[in-house]
Amino acid sequence: MAKPVAKKSHKPKPSTPKYRVLSAGTCGASFYNEGQMTASGERFNPSAMTAAHKTLPLGSKVRVINPSSGKSVIVRINDRGPYVGGRCLDLSEAAFDAIGNTGSGVMTVKYQVLAR
């Protein structure tokens, strides 16, 4: 006699937050990992998914995409900078590493400023 076949349960996949894109662009991105206080008043954590931008409001969410690999990460703006020509984002080391190779130091990225 054949054993009954167990049915697989179809659990819904956890949903990822849906965001609306407010603006987008392309620029150079670097990373930093020195422990310091950020412009938002919190201690910088190189393992957090955060970034610095010169003008976006602190707390803004930004999707950063490496066009070479298609990898992306969503970061929270919590600091100011970078102050180097051609760069608009200074990512935490963890955020940079999630989409590229920290050995390169700088990469061209696409970015999307997000709103819920």
What value does the mean pLDDT take over residues 79-104?
A: 94
Assess whether pLDDT exceeds 80 at residue 28.
yes
What pLDDT does 35 receive? Answer: 75
pLDDT above 70 for 105: yes
Q: Using CA atoms of 49, 98, 114, 51 in order, give the dihedral in degrees to the nearest 10.
A: 40
Domains (range + CATH), the chain: 39-115 (2.40.40.10)
The per-residue pLDDT for 91 is: 97
The whole-number pLDDT of residue 34 equals 82
Residue appearing with tokens 């066009």:
67
Give the model's pLDDT for residue 58: 97
Kindly give, in sequence order, each residue whose CB lies less than 8 Å from that of residue 64, ignoring residues fewer than 6 positions away.
29, 51, 72, 73, 74, 75, 89, 91, 95, 99, 109, 110, 111
